[in-house]
Amino acid sequence: MNLVLKLLGDDIRKPSALVHFEREMSPVEQKIMTLIIFHSQVMDSDDKGFYYIKKSFIREFLGWEESNNYPRIYQAFKSIFDNSVTWNFLGTDRTFQSLMCKLVVSLLKPTATGEYIGYKLHPDLEPVIKDPKVFAKIKLIMMSILAKPKYAFPLYEILSDFYSRGEKSVKMPIELLRSSLGIASDAYESFIPFKRRVLKPNIDAINNNTDCKVTYSTYRENRKVAGLIFEIEKQNWQPPLLMNHFNELQVYYENSRTLKIVSQWGGLNSAEEKAFFDSVSQLHITEQDVRRAIDTHGLTGAIEIRDYVLLEVERRSQSKDPVRDIGAYMARCLKEGFGKKTQEERNQQARVKAEADKKRSQAKVKEDFELQAKNVKDEFWSYQIELVDNKLAQMEQGKLEELNDSYTIQNPLFAKGFRESGLERPTVRASFYKFAVQQLLSAEERDIHNFAKSKEIANQVIKLLD
């Protein structure tokens, strides 16, 4: 059951070119088109190019009760078959030219397929569906969760596509939004009913039930609301426990190649692999993408590809050709191996790294020795001050006065301060003890090397004491 939950919670890679189309068909037909795309990605066609999808599976994911009859589903397929659609009409997918064609070019009659519907994809769209380069990540279960209100799922698809391509703030004219949602030109002509009947209920449904969090503001042209600025974020979300969906998926896809692939995949095996996934997941790279990349290129190769992509993004950020969709670029490079180093490049990199590590290590050792030498000097100075204080305490008054007079004569710069406040001033104090060390301590007591050796200080440190 966990495997079914994974399929429910995972993302459909719906090509951006197939998200942005003229939505003149009904929301039901649009949802079925998304389901066709998912089904065609995870299943193989027969030798004649036909895919087969179970009617009860479609019914469940449309959120229909069993009382809804199956001819209605076939009628939706027939409408998809009968209508040509302009794909990529916003030009968001630069790998795909704007194209007008049908999604389904052949449709088997219900009597020939029984509980299944058989269909064949348009040859210009099938490669894009099977291996999309630029795509929106849309959770399959949202088709059922967003069964109502009418425009919730189309709006979720459109906003998810922008987010998947790194566009978290989207400025969209009202007319373009209406066209994207398939709203008739004569419906909700003023903004107030459009806001009340379309924006509020559908955005509330998305915010309350999905992995997206959407807010919007308006902008005006000629004192009239001309469009919306959507702000899109992701929020924590778990797929609800919908047993009907589980049952349909488990029964229907138990022999599919997707289930076989997922069941063979044991997840991420090490902390390093998990750390790598965490580093790219913010770009909407899935665990399956990471597993395939590691299986194909090794963890080292996958890391090299990631680092290459990030460097390319940075390098091109100020150029005339910036990377516009970092996630899609990362996914493509992980799949194709762009940025993976050769063994010779790795060997050279290892040599450079070893030399740099050696220099850093040597610098660190030197720094440690210098710090130890400083500590020895500080400790030796404290030791000498203690010796001087002991000798001063034992000195006769006359001898002490002679020492003070000798200090003021030899240190005229500090003489006035010494006579006025004694050793209270730090500069005078340091000067006096430096003088007293020379006058009162023996040569052995002034020898820092002997002091260090008595403390068993390393020879490398002693050499730095001069």
CATH code, domain carrying 131 = 1.10.10.10
- Predicted local confidence at residue 55, as pLDDT: 80
Band (pLDDT 50/70/90 cuts) for residue 449 is very high
pLDDT for 22 beyond 60 = no
Q: Is 76 a member of any domain?
A: yes
pLDDT for 78 beyond 80 = yes
Residues 211-253 have pLDDT tens digits of: 889 999 999 888 888 899 999 998 876 555 444 554 555 555 5
Whether residues 134 and 4 share a domain: the answer is: yes
Last residue within a domain, chosen from 202, 221, 238: 238
Highest mean pLDDT out of 33-37, 61-65, 105-109, 170-174: 170-174
Whether residues 214 and 254 share a domain: the answer is: no
pLDDT for 319 beyond 80 = yes
Last residue within a domain, chosen from 280, 308, 341: 341
**Burial tier of 128 (Cβ tally within 10 Å: 0-12, 13-18, 19+):** buried
Q: Is 350 a member of any domain?
A: no
Report the share of the chain in percent with pLDDT over 70. Answer: 79
- Sorted by sequence, the CB contacts under 8 Å of residue 153 that are 6+ apart come out as 27, 30, 31, 34, 142, 143, 146, 147
Q: Is 221 a member of any domain?
A: yes
- Predicted local confidence at residue 97, as pLDDT: 65
Q: Which of 3-7, 323-327, 422-426, 451-455 has the lowest mean pLDDT?
A: 3-7
Whether residues 113 and 248 share a domain: the answer is: yes
Whether residues 259 and 293 share a domain: the answer is: no
pLDDT for 1 beyond 50 = no
pLDDT for 146 beyond 90 = no
Residues 86-131 have pLDDT tens digits of: 665 555 556 566 677 788 888 887 665 567 788 898 888 888 788 7
Q: Is 132 a member of any domain?
A: yes
Q: What is the average per-residue pLDDT within 166-191?
A: 82
CA atoms of 225 and 217, how far apart (whole Å): 10
Whether residues 114 and 157 share a domain: the answer is: no
Whether residues 156 and 121 share a domain: the answer is: no
Whether residues 247 and 131 share a domain: the answer is: yes
Q: Is 349 a member of any domain?
A: no
Whether residues 4 and 91 share a domain: the answer is: yes
- Predicted local confidence at residue 304, as pLDDT: 92
Highest mean pLDDT out of 18-22, 77-81, 247-251: 77-81
| Domain housing 271 | 265-341
Mean of pLDDT over the chain: 80
Whether residues 105 and 163 share a domain: the answer is: no
Residues 333-374 have pLDDT tens digits of: 998 899 998 888 888 988 998 999 999 999 998 999 999 999
Q: Is 129 a member of any domain?
A: yes
| Tally of domains in the chain | 4
Whether residues 101 and 247 share a domain: the answer is: yes
Q: Which of 147-151, 197-201, 239-243 has the lowest mean pLDDT?
A: 239-243
- Predicted local confidence at residue 383, as pLDDT: 92
Q: What is the average per-residue pLDDT within 44-57?
A: 83
Q: Is 115 a member of any domain?
A: yes
- Predicted local confidence at residue 262, as pLDDT: 40
